[in-house]
Structure 1
Amino acid sequence: MAYGVLGPTLAGPTVAAGGARVRALLARLLLDAGQVVPLPRLIDDLYGDNPPAGAVNAVQSSVSRLRREVPISYDGSGYRLDIEPDEVDAHRFTRLAGSARSAARDGDFATASAQLTEALALWRGEALADVRSAPFAAAAADRLEESRRQALEDRIEAELHLHPSADAIDELRKLLDVAPLREHTWALLMRSLAAGGRPAEALAAFEQARRVLADELGVDPSAELSAVHTAVLRGPARHRLPAQLTSFVDRQELARAEAALKSARLVTLAGPGGAGKTRLSIEVAGRHPGEACLVELAGTGPADVARTVLDALGLRDTGLRDRSAGPDTLDRLLAALSTRELLLILDNCEHVLSAAAELTGRLLAACPGLRVLATSREPLGVTGEVRVPVAGLPVEAAVRLFAERGAAAGSLLGAEDETAVRQIVRTLDGLPLALELAAARLPVLLVDELARRVDDRFRVLSRGSSTAESRHQTLWNLVAWSWDLLTPPEQTLARAFTVFRGGAGLDAIEQVGGLGPETLDVLDGLVSKSLIERDGARYRMLSTIRAFCAAQGPAPTDRHAEYFLRLAQTADTQLRGPDQLIWLDRLDADRDNLHAAVRHGSDEVALRLVAALSFYWWLRGARGEAAALARELLERAGPADGLAEEYVLCQLNTGLADEHPARYLQALDRPPAQPFLLYLSAFTAGPPRASDEEVVDMQESLRARLRGSPWSEALASIGSGWIALFRGDQPWADREFARALVGFQALGERWGAMLAQSGLAELATARGDHQAARAPMDEALRLAAELRSDVDLAEMLRSRAEIHLLAGDPDGAAADFTESMALATGCGAPEVVASSRIGLARLALRRDDPVTARELAFTALAECPTGWYTADGVRLSIKLVLGQSAADPVEAAHWYRQVVAEAAGPDAANVVATALAALEVP
């Protein structure tokens, strides 16, 4: 820049000459470049409140010296630097920063990042660095430095939108060293740490920010900072909108669907297969403000629609450490979406039309912030539905799509090909999928030849199917034509590929496809012909093509089931070690394939699969799905030689609590092949009904039988610790939880370590050592965050709030109760929402505010479900607070008597004792 104040004062390419007073005058004029600065203001700014008697002459003298370097004019009232403001670095900086903010508001983060990078590059040091002694300089420099910090934050935020990473962590920490009360900077630091795969550090940063704000300002974190904290706890969003592999050709239905979604809560894109409904829905969702999630229903059965939606949203049936039955899938969905703003895309509803329509109606009625965009070959028939027909592309758009896909296949079309292309487009009715399949043939056929063959083939094939809808004829005939042109190995692999659900990786295709070493070359041929799509490291087949290929012969279901059994068994051992997260993601990618293998595998393979997947299902909160699969299997399979353990696990997954699992465990003289059998059996049976001595003998006997299996031994210590805690034997519980923690940490296994840490925290709380409870609870929270269990995060935040409360930290308790409510609401855990809300009510009672406490308690009572153990305990706590906050003694006694009569759930004894004391019952 020719002129500058963002560093030493510049007048031209070098630092301005002259003494301090001359440079200060230049800097002051630069701040108002192009504008007249009145002489009295100049004198005040340069000399302060007590200017010397000769201040006017001194200014005139300084101006005279400056005129040798810069153009200055005088209009009778003051002086003006006659240059354009954009020639001054500070003005150019301000203009670029403002333009970048506008670009960011419009979602153009690339432009925002570029402009902010350019703006920040103008800084050469501290603002007004060499004139800081001038009276005007300090305030002006502070304003400029604040703008610089804001611009740096804006640039980092734009880059986080473009390329989420931890690259800016050092810059953000330096900003916080200077301005530790800037909450937006703390939020950016947490987002950067989380984006860099460092969620534990992000959570620690939140705690540090909370302490700084409380100590310095006496306030809680802002809504922005709390929202980032919640997002970090939840972990990265999954299964939202898939990345698209090809460009999108604009079509008029896009604008119609966007407009319809602004006024209607259910919009259905209805049209034939191959019309591009899925791709269109993703484009609509991508332009919709707010959160959106795609749910693929093509491979889903009618009974599994709600569970598929739950899974796509990244929700769980239960928490990792939950010991209660919990709500069913639909109840959890309704609870999770009741206060959420979300666009839900239900794709391929025609396969499960009635079930999809019923679920959509229930969700829309109960969730006012929900909108649904469905794709189907026919409308759902739900009240309020707006139908947007999706047919073939208009001619010009279809020609453009065909040309783009032809170019992608390596064939550039010229003007001489236009007639033939238009003929192809008309023959294929402008169907996007048909055009893509046809374009894939351009590398081996001239466009004229392709037009002739397509036209001839359809005339022949359509004669026998004149009753079919024309576009269905067109697409089916085109797939048939493509099929006939495949080599025998390509047909074999295409037919075999239909056995996969949700796509497959290369190893699975090689093992299941049956072609051996030539699989990769054959697969390459199918991809180049657009019959199979590559999506990163996985491959998928569109449902229309799958339907045709599946009709050409049986798929290799046995090889498929055997391959995924091997995968599940390998993963099962890895889930109990340091690579747990890697293998969880690996199984997530093939979850549909694993469940399909249970359904179509032989009885033996299916039983082994259920056993191998039991721990995975628990870690992913898929107990409802596991129960349904296990129940289906038990209807067709009974006990088999050599598969007793697998059969017991199948029973336990259904939640059946008969004597068979107990007898099997008592007869075990070695560690079970599937160690998770111990946890499921204990979960089903509940605490042992025996004397303390008998319990100790049972535990020692079990430990002796588990020697040689470190994971099983550590898990047994978890059970032993909780039983000891229930019995009031705190020293025993302490030893057992500590032993379990050492065992799980040695294995690098997060789930078990989380149970051990939460057990140690509960134990410290029971001892009254609330400070000692903080560290293990914080570590349990970190591990739950890594395992992406929102329910456990919510429960443990509520537990940590109780620790804060008992330790005399009401602000910390309020923050954790509020955070727990937000998380529990998002994951559909109404009992945890109610439990955290009643915690806030107890805080209100401590503040001597019974009116607020009563309002919170009645809200909690309305939202707390009934029918399972932990929720019943929460309802007791709610009724106790209603008694404590009642103004009328008669009403208070009414609630206390209900507590005594309904005693159930965790901590019932403590709650009942408090109620009895209030009733003055001995």
Structure 2
Amino acid sequence: MFGILGATQVWNADGSAVALGGPRRRALLALLLLDAGRVVTPERLIDGLYGEDPPAGVANALQSQVSRLRQVLPQKIEFHPAGYRLAIDPDDVDSHRFQRLSAEGREALAAGDPARAAVLLREALELWRGPALADVDGAPFAQVQVTRLEELRISAAEDRMEAELALGGHRELVAGLRELVDAHPLRERLRGQLMRALYGSGRQSEALEAYEAARSELADTLGADPGPELAAVHLAVLRGDPELTPAAHAHVPRGTSPTTPTASASPTVSEPARPRFVLPTQLTSFVGRDEELDRIGAQLSEGRLVTLIGPGGAGKTRIAIEAAGRYGGEACFVELAGLADAAEVPHAIQGALGLREAGVMPGAGPAPDPVDRVTAALADRPLLLVLDNCEHVVGEIAKIVGRLLGDCGELRVLATTREPLGIPGETLCPIPPLRLPPPGTDHVRALAFPAVRLFTERAVAVQPDFELAADLDAVLRVCTALDGLPLAIELAAARLRSMSASEIASRLGVVSAAPEQSEYGPGIRPDERFRLLSRGSRTAQPRQKTLRGVVDWSWDLLTEPERAVLRRVSVFAGGWTLEAAEAVCADRTTDDDVADGGGTDGGGTREAGVDAFDVLDLIDSLVDKSLVVAHRPEGADGVRYRMLETIRAYGAERLAEAGETAALRRAHARYFLALVGEAEPRLRRAEQLDWLRRLSVDQDNLHTALRRRVEDGDTGTALRLLAPLSTYWLLRGVRLEGAGPARELLDLIGPQAPEGLDEEYVLCVLAAANGVSDNRELGAHTAAADAVMASLGYIPQRFPSLTVIWAMAMGAPTADAAELISLTLDDPGRDPWAVALLHLGQGYAHWMVRGDTALAEREFSAGLAGFRVLGDRWAMANALDVLAQLADWQGDNERAAALADEALGYVEPLGAIEDMAQLLCRRAERSARDGDTEAARADYERVVELSGRAGAPDCMAMAHLGLGEVARARGELAGARALCELALGESGTGWAGLDMNRSLILIGLARIAEAEGDPERARGYYRQVPEAELVSRNGPVAASFAEALAGLALLEGGPERAALLLGVARTLRGAEVPPDRDTARVGAAARAALGEAAFAAAHARGVALSREQTVVALTDFDAAR
């Protein structure tokens, strides 16, 4: 027998141990034992024993070790042309036997035989004598194998616990499970098993405490909530679910997941690379659809796009959620029903994936195309993307899915829609109505049919004493009349709160009390539309026949005030609060409604007896009647309400019939204009996070209000909505959200600001600019906006955030703008947030326009102090970041690091992955300058990972530039060039921040060309740097350019020009700072070539150059030749 589950051992038949010799020989034997019975090549043995640096004559050394091992194990080691083979039965090796036994135990568990599973798994675990490969764990091959075997060990331990729980051994398992949980605190399966063992031992309170401990550990360590499986155990404990009792586990369902190690194994914490997605929680049982779920599972395993098609109300959404829950990997759910425009689809997918559209740091430039960002984030990510309710945006979905599947090789898509997407590779899965029993079926057999079972389960939920046997005939008539559609059945069953099953059935096909009055035929009341629609015209759509009938019937049961509220709440998108409903849905026939205009159906609403104080009771009534759902979504302060999309669409039709659409759209816009107007100043105060959450919950309503005002030609209200929304978009990094409506609004307005709305107009231009690649595409609008800003002195009065958004698009303040800023800082009536921001703007002007870093630091510090008083986290992070950059520039790395760390602390609660990446990128730059290339590389690689998750190519470009600089510092020029070329391809152009990044990449490529001795190629890169970056806008970039150009001058035999350029860089930096590695090398070489006096004279001439002379010096690329 042979063993590696512990120290490497060989035992004779009598049980005595065989002496194996030294560690190298033991490691050789362990390598052969891992592949017992198979040929192992010499190359693999050498790699495993010696790693990447084998000694000279390693082949002879290996032969010698094999020969000595053969002396210990005669007849066991065979020579083959391809290598060596240990000629034994793999089952004679404890590791192979362990894997076989644990696999058989897992299979027995899945097959519902926990007793056999427990025996097999106990035997498997007893083979372990200690940590795997304990005596050779330092060998190059060992660590990977140790990790693999330990993972299998804890997996087997979990499976064994599952089997023992199924056998009812709850009380005896508690102590062992506590030890396992202590050793592996992040294993949720073990946590759930401990909770079940405690509950089964009569210790429910301790089981709940165990869940709280798990939740706290996961939150503190991973920043994550418990997964759905652990949450389900918690819910079962709370409910006292009988499934938790020992008898309930006599059969363990197939698909139990075993993958984890044992009580004595050391904890292995594996930090997840990506956030966990949570599927929508379902509060009711899932009935039937086993055949469809099996088919979906098979289709997803064989293809990458599965589309669920079927009539509305067939249950496509619920089936998709169940299928995603059973999917073996990560799944993200995207709800599309609330979208009114196909252009919103990319943003919905991006939002569901948790991707920000842009960073919050100034200089980030316009948000990239959301499809590009999603593609970048999912490029190599195994994920099931569930796209729900695609039918109204099917064309846009088809284009996006086609691209994602083409560019993201690990992605799978599950779509629900009423029509196929119609793209290559699509597999259709029709979702028919639930199966109905044939006539004459008794109540026992009827329950085997999903339609009847669904009605019965929902009936018991609202009427606990409901019995199918007593109402079988009525239930069968109801289910048949409703065509087996789940939504219709659930709505019908809900009516059992106030009606009997027979009464429900009668309303679906009732004999009229006065048939002679009916124009539809004898015995049918004209009000019973449902029966007519379900059996009417063959040309009507099946969905309309059934669902319209169900909702018509529910509508008929409402009072007039209830009907008024139901149709009026259809104006909301994505849900609403009670406050919003009271403001929007009460009767109104005011002058404001008539005067606002913009609609086609008049000014006010019908008188329906709905006062604002009545709205709460009326909505409660609609909740009781299953037409409105009350819920408490994450991030909301209280209860919110929503409707099923079918009912919302129905309500919108009724709203139009009542002639109230225009009035309600205006009321909706007024409410959300007031909300965002109240929020805007608070987004710049200590309440920032609370108001961000509040607006995020109503993001659909805010965007819908804006879009409708544009559609209705109400340009004034649209501009007043867009302006405060710009601050929200800025902080949330979703500036692209307003780009489409903003462009349409500009088309209506023309290139001139409406009277009294000058700042709003500029914000509209900037919002539209987020959707274009270059601000020149907006033509006259850009010029008009610039004229407005000039008339304002570049200092807005009502929307201070405009200053930030303008700078992000147009760059740092010009000299003239800086003068205007300085004249207004002492205005006592100015908003304190605006004053703090003006200090930042003045600081940028001092630094980047005048090169005065001392004054810049004073202004930045004043701005930070102002933001601290106000408690604005976003603004504090910006101020700290620019102070850190300035400290960096001045060579004070320790202070820069402290400031940047504080900025990170403020950015994190905003959920700004991209901004964290930017701050880490700057930390890496500091490490690289300090010569700590390992730390720099680690941070840059982290930035690449974060940028990939965020789908932020420009941030990734700067990380690749940094990695290229690290490679250049190590002399790896080919690798450095490849990384910088990759960065250049990822970078954008046309905006201030993007042009700066691209310039830095070009400088990096030029320096690599110089290091490779290719001055012509270097000169070509330098020529591509925009002149605006050299002087008129960005002193720091210009200084880096001058220092790099000095290297080119030196390479071409111009030490005097090199010294002059270093002097130019000194002036552009605004202070004497410690030189980086490249600058120090160039300076030393120029001094050596010229002598100290000549070097100092040339350097002084560079320092003394005027700005115009500096331009000439930096753009005369042939001066040294």
* Inter-CA distance 438–120: structure 2 relative to 1 (3 Å threshold): closer
Residues 109 and 161 in structure 1, CA contact (< 8 A), matched pair in contact too = no
| Structure-1 residue corresponding to 2:183 | 150
Shift of 1:435: 0.5
Q: Distance in 2 between matches of 1:372 and 1:575?
A: 37
- Aligned in 2, Cα 1:717/1:166: closer, same or farther, shift over 3 Å? farther
> Aligned with 1:834: secondary structure?
helix
Contact 2:629–2:642 (CA<8 Å) still a contact in 1?
yes
Aligned to 1:292: 331
Q: What CA distance in whole angstroms lies between the structure 2 residues aligned with 1:850 and 1:164?
A: 58
Paired letter, 1:389: P
Aligned to 2:344: 304
* Structure 1 residues 238-270: Cα deviation after superposition (integer angstroms, max 9, x where no partner): 7x5322232222302222112211121111111
**C-alpha spacing 1:868/1:326, structure 2 compared with 1 (3 Å):** farther
SS of the counterpart of 1:388?
strand
- 1:533 is matched with 629
Paired residue for 1:649?
Answer: 763
CA distance change for structure 1 residues 290 and 491 in 2, over 3 Å: closer, same or farther? same
1:432 is aligned to: 486
Rate the CA distance shift 1:106–1:366 in 2: closer, same or farther, 3 A.
farther
SS of residue paired to 2:497: coil
1:897 to 988, 1007, 1019: 1019
- Letter of the 1:563 counterpart: Y
Q: Take 2:346 and 2:163, find their aligned partners in 1: how far apart are those partners?
A: 36
In the TM superposition, what whole-angstrom CA distance separates every residue of 1:194-235 from its partner, at most 9, and x where no partner exists? 99xxxxxxxxxxxxxxxxxxxxxxxxxxx997955x66xxxx
User: Within the alignment, does 1:449 sit opposite 2:503 as a pair?
Assistant: yes
Distance 2:193 2:1008 in 1: 47
CA–CA separation in structure 2 for the residues paired with 1:552 and 1:647: 36
CA gap 1:107/1:253 in 2 versus in 1, 3 angstroms: farther
Task: Tell whether the 8 Å contact from 1:320 to 1:621 is kept in structure 2 after alignment.
Answer: yes
Q: Partners of 1:776 and 1:188 in 2: how far apart?
A: 27
Map residues 272-421 of structure 1 onto 2, 5 A cutoff.
Answer: 272-298=311-337, 299-323=339-363, 324-395=365-436, 396-414=449-467, 415-421=469-475
Distance in structure 2 (CA, Å) of the matches to 1:608 and 1:616:
14
Q: Gaps spanning 5+ residues in structure 1: where? A: 1-37, 42-83, 125-144, 173-186, 196-222
**1:562 equivalent in structure 2:** 670
Residue 724 (structure 1) aligned to one of 846, 849, 863: 846
Structure 1 equivalent of residue 696 of structure 2: 588
Cα deviation per residue 1:71-102 (whole Å; 9 max; x = unaligned)?
Answer: xxxxxxxxxxxxx9x99xx99x99xx999855
Structure 1 residues 875, 710: CA separation in 2 closer, same or farther (over 3 Å shift)? closer
Check whether the contact 2:800–2:833 (CA below 8 A) recurs between aligned residues: yes
Name 1:56's counterpart in structure 2: none
Distance of 1:710 and 1:688 partners within structure 2: 20
- 2:555 alignment counterpart: 483
The one of 569, 587, 605 aligned to 2:717: 605
Q: Deviations over 1:807-857 (max 9, x none)?
A: 333232122111111010111111221221231222223333334434434
Deviation at 1:104, TM superposition (A): 6.3
Alignment RMSD (CA, Å): 4.0
Match of 1:44 in 2: none
User: For 1:893 and 1:887, how far apart are their aligned partners in 2?
Assistant: 6
Equivalent position of 1:775 in the other structure: 898
CA distance in 2, matches of 1:604, 1:271: 43
Instruction: Tell me, in whole angstroms, the C-alpha distance in 2 between the residues paired with 1:109 and 1:765.
Output: 60
Where do residues 626-775 of structure 1 align in structure 2 (5 Å cutoff)? 626-637=738-749, 639-655=753-769, 656-663=781-788, 666-667=791-792, 672-690=797-815, 697-705=819-827, 707-726=829-848, 727-775=850-898
Aligned to 1:131: none
Q: Distance in 1 between matches of 2:928 and 2:370?
A: 33
What is the match of residue 848 of structure 1? Answer: 971
Q: What is the letter of the counterpart of residue 766 of structure 1?
A: W
8 Å Cα contact 1:120/1:152 also seen in 2: no
Give 1:620 deviation, angstroms.
Answer: 1.2
Whether 2:653 is the aligned partner of 1:551: answer yes
CA distance in 2, matches of 1:851, 1:669: 46
Q: TM-score, normalised to structure 2's length?
A: 0.63
**Paired residues for 1:211-230 under 5 Å:** 227-228=271-272
Distance in 2 between residues matched to 1:111 and 1:671, nearest whole Å: 68
How many residues are treated as equivalent by the alignment?
Answer: 767
Q: 1:191 corresponds to which residue?
A: 222
Cα deviation, residue 600, structure 1: 2.5
CA deviation map 1:344-367 (0-9, x unaligned): 222221101211111111221112
Change (3 A) 1:417 1:548: same
CA distance, structure 2, for counterparts of residue 123 and residue 103 of structure 1: 10
Alignment correspondent of 1:267: 306
The 2-side partners of 1:911 and 1:104 are apart by 60
Q: Which amino acid aligns with 2:183?
A: Q
Taking structure 1 as reference, are residues 751 and 810 closer, same or farther at Cα in structure 2, changes over 3 Å only?
A: same
Q: How far apart, CA to CA, are the structure 1 residues paired with 2:535 and 2:224?
A: 63
Take 2:311 and 2:348, find their aligned partners in 1: how far apart are those partners? 24
2:736 pairs, out of 624, 627, 631, with 624
- The CA deviation at 1:864 is 4.3
Work out whether residues 661 and 681 of structure 1, in 8 Å CA contact, stay in contact via their aligned partners in 2: no
Q: Is the 8 A contact 2:944 2:956 kept in 1?
A: yes
**Aligned with 2:319: secondary structure?**
helix
* Inter-partner Cα distance in structure 2 for 1:413 and 1:255: 32
How big is each residue's C-alpha offset from its partner over 1:166-195, in whole Å with a ceiling of 9 and x where there is no partner?
A: 9659998xxxxxxxxxxxxxx985326999
Name the CA distance, whole Å, in 1 between partners of 2:971 and 2:796.
56
1:409 touches 1:528 (CA, 8 Å); kept in 2? Answer: no
Matched, 1:249 2:345: no
Question: Are positions 1:791 and 2:914 aligned together?
Answer: yes
What's the counterpart of residue 517 of structure 1?
613
Identify unmatched segments of 5+ residues in structure 2.
Answer: 1-13, 18-118, 130-150, 196-207, 227-266, 437-448, 511-527, 587-609, 633-638, 770-780, 1058-1121
- Aligned mates of 2:1009, 2:797 — CA distance in 1: 54
| d(CA) in 1 for partners of 2:216, 2:532 | 69
Give the match's secondary structure for 1:407: helix
Find the aligned partners of 1:887 and 1:675 in 2 and give their Cα distance: 46
Aligned partner of residue 551 in structure 1, secondary structure: helix
**1:810 and 2:933 correspond:** yes
Amino acid at match of 2:315: G
8 Å contact from structure 1 (residues 103, 111) kept in 2 = no
Distance 1:263 1:117, change over 3 A: farther
Q: Is the contact made by 2:357 and 2:370 (CA closer than 8 Å) also made in structure 1?
A: yes
Higher relative contact order (CA 8 A, sep 6+): 1
Query: TM-score if structure 1 supplies the norm length?
Result: 0.75
Shift of 1:648: 3.4
Q: Retained in 2: the 8 A contact 1:834–1:860?
A: yes
- Secondary structure of the equivalent of 1:418? helix
Contact 2:758 2:788 in 1 (8 A): no
What is the letter of the counterpart of residue 630 of structure 1?
A
Q: Which residue of 1 aligns with 2:48?
A: none
Q: 1:599–1:633: 8 Å Cα contact kept in structure 2?
A: no
